[in-house]
Amino acid sequence: MRLTEVMALADRLAGCERTPEDSQVYLDGEVRRVLFGIDIDVGELLLARQLGLDGVIAHHPIGSRAALNFPRMIDRHEEQMLAAGIPRPRAHQAMLERKAPVEKAGHSRNYDRVIDAARLLRMPLMNIHLAADLIGRQYFIDFVERHVDGRAPTAGALVEELKTIPEMEAALVQPQLWLGKGDNPVGRWVVQMAAGTNGGAPVFSTYYEHGINTILAMHVDPADLRTLEAMRLPAANLIITGHMPSDSIGINRVIDALQEQGVEVIAGSGVIRV
């Protein structure tokens, strides 16, 4: 199976009509045994060579166009806010506030360092980001719909239910309530994932201002959390599900599909395989 075929498989699983711009086959090749990791650097390429593997798959963008185009994924925050009923002008403004620093941070990146190493090693290399995140986001949406309508009417109860997800049970970090009180009602909720990175204070505060009570996100920067805390919103809940276990949910579905195609997958670099 070639890595271009692996990408097409992931796109189909996630319902992507074309490969998202934050995902890329950097060096194509035929693979039978691959390393799949959340973050891939030169060390993982050398590890794959040492293990006798013939390809490496990352989750996060490694470089090249996928890394430089990554800020475009933040546009998806606007789409998600519109779906939650937030007016377009406000959603657009919040998205731009979140996008600007990400664009600037990527400008000075050494974007081909790891890819150059893969070429020198002749190690086929790719990354699958948005497709896996879309699969994971839908899993969380389905999960919350089941439990909020049934056994978890409060934010604290929902956090406890999230801990029963296999990837969470196997992880060293657990879902936590970082904003709000455990006995707060879940109320209106959104799963704020599959938009490049977290929405930060600009996007999260916009949700809260427009009647969303509970946000589920993989992670948030400390400075953004302090900004949200300073707003003193008593009905607002922010549940942080944990980066590595949350990423692993979508990745595991991709790995399962690859194994069904006869590709042997070695999980590493943060993937919690269950």
Predicted local distance difference test score (pLDDT) of residue 149? 76
Indicate yes or no: pTM above 0.85.
yes
Domain 3-133+247-268 sits in CATH at: 3.40.1390.30
Q: Residue ranges per domain, the chain?
A: 3-133+247-268, 134-243
Other Cβ atoms within 10 Å of 149 Cβ, number:
9
Tens of pLDDT along the chain (274 residues) come to: 999 999 999 999 999 999 999 999 999 999 999 999 999 999 999 999 999 999 999 999 999 999 999 999 999 999 999 999 999 999 999 999 999 999 998 888 999 999 999 999 999 999 999 999 999 999 999 999 998 876 678 999 999 999 999 999 999 999 999 999 999 999 999 999 999 999 999 999 999 999 999 999 999 999 999 999 999 999 999 999 999 999 999 999 999 999 999 999 999 999 999 9
d(Cα 92, Cα 39) in Å, to the nearest integer? 30
Q: Which residues pair with 21 in a beta bridge?
A: none
pLDDT at residue 150, rounded to an integer = 65
Nearest-angstrom CA–CA distance, 263 and 261: 6
CA distances from 67 to 79, 132, 200 (A): 21, 16, 20
Distance, CA of 141 to CA of 144 (rounded, Å): 5
User: Which alpha helices (DSSP H) does the chain contain, by range?
Assistant: 3-14, 42-50, 64-68, 75-83, 88-106, 113-121, 130-148, 155-162, 166-169, 200-209, 222-230, 243-260
**How far is residue 9's CA from residue 257's CA, in Å, rounded to a whole number?**
8
